[in-house]
């Protein structure tokens, strides 16, 4: 069973976005891009490197470069369980 996005964020995962530049298999002088997003753990980025290894083993277009960014959307200290609510008229 896959864990929810909120559960991953509470465990320290952040959203990693990678822009992958690769050469077209038939036209090596032409570059194309592919955008990849996944929740991943900084600073090791195991999901990103697993995807790059998959690309190198299974995709015909050779990699030119990879540019990525990582953003933690929520941390364990930023989340609070609200048990009550006050309403003002």
**Where exactly are the structural domains of the chain?**
10-72
Say how far apart CA 36 and CA 19 lie, in whole Å.
7
**pLDDT grade, residue 5 (50/70/90)?**
confident
Say how far apart CA 27 and CA 55 lie, in whole Å.
18
Tell me whether residue 21 is exposed, middle or buried, using C-beta atoms within 10 angstroms of its C-beta: 0 to 12, 13 to 18, 19 or more.
Answer: middle
The residue among 76 and 70 whose pLDDT is bigger is 70
Q: Is the pLDDT of residue 76 over 80?
A: no
- Inter-residue contact 31 to 22 (CB < 8 Å): yes
Q: What is the pLDDT of residues 38-73, one digit of tens each?
A: 999 999 999 999 999 999 999 999 999 999 999 987
Task: Supply the pTM of this predicted model.
Answer: 0.77
Say how far apart CA 88 and CA 67 lie, in whole Å.
49
């Amino acid at each position: 069973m896959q864990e929810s996005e909120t559960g991953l964020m509470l465990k320290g995962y952040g959203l990693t976005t990678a822009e992958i530049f690769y050469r077209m298999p038939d036209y090596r002088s032409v570059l194309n891009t592919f955008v990849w997003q996944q929740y991943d753990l900084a600073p090791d980025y195991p999901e990103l490197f697993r995807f790059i290894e998959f690309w190198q083993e299974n995709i015909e277009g050779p990699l030119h470069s990879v540019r990525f960014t990582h953003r933690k959307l929520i941390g364990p200290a930023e989340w609070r369980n609200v048990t009550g609510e006050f309403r003002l008229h």
